[in-house]
Every structure is written in structure tokens, then in C-alpha cells.
């Protein structure tokens, strides 16, 4: 009987964990790392921000494409609201993991882990 209760408690804990992981996240949890000052970003990010403000020309053909926010880590917005831009990574043999995501109202987010987390850039 004691073993049965222990198994029941373990199942209840696993169910609670599964529900917590499946629950929708709040905005504060979605943009995991909070905010970052533009001046504290890597210099390649500062250059990408300048190119975004100038509307190009961009070094990568993928720059400016729609970012669909499939992971739902940024605030929910209509389709085509977000656009992504590459932040070059020195030594990388491809585009690397760093990106700036620009929103339709001028807000910009930085990720250095390929969309797993974002920080709102304070200009």
C-alpha cells in the first residue's frame, strides 16, 4: 500500500511538471533575458542595427525575411510583423546563431542562441 501511494505521488508530480511545461508563458517569460542596452551589444550587432535603420544594403540574402515567431517567445503579433536580420559571428562558417528581430512598431530584439531567448534592445 505504501508503494502504491509513493507511485501515486510520483505520478502527480510528473503530471504537474508536464502541465507547467505545456502552459502558455507570459511575456516576461517569453523574452527570457529581459532587456539589453544597444551600446553593450557586440559591435557586429551595432552594425546590423545601423543597416536596419538605413534599410540596407544587407550582407545576407535572408536579411529582412519575415520572422514567424513559431516558438512564441516574442509577443504575439499578426503575420509579417517581425523581420529577422543576421548579426555576423566572427569565426563562424555560416550565418551563426546571432540575430536581430525587428518589430513593426520599431522595437528590436537580440538573440545570440538562435531564437531560444531574446532580449529587448534599449536604444
Indicate which residues carry an active-site annotation: 84, 114
Residue 45 sits at the vertex; the CA angle it makes with 39 and 50, to the nearest 5 degrees, is: 85
C-alpha to C-alpha distance for 30 and 23, rounded to whole angstroms: 12
Three-class SS of residue 99?
Answer: strand
Amino acid at each position: 500500500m505504501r508503494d502504491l501511494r509513493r507511485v501515486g505521488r510520483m505520478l502527480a508530480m510528473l503530471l504537474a511538471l508536464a502541465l507547467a511545461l505545456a502552459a502558455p508563458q507570459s511575456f516576461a517569460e517569453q523574452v527570457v533575458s529581459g532587456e539589453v542596452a544597444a551600446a553593450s551589444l557586440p559591435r557586429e550587432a551595432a552594425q546590423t542595427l545601423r543597416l536596419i535603420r538605413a534599410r540596407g544594403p544587407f550582407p545576407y540574402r535572408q536579411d529582412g525575411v519575415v520572422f514567424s515567431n513559431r516558438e512564441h517567445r516574442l509577443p504575439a503579433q499578426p503575420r509579417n510583423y517581425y523581420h529577422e536580420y543576421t548579426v555576423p559571428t566572427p569565426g563562424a562558417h555560416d550565418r551563426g546563431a546571432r540575430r536581430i528581430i525587428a518589430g513593426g512598431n520599431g522595437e528590436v530584439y537580440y538573440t545570440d542562441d538562435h531564437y531560444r531567448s531574446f532580449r529587448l534592445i534599449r536604444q
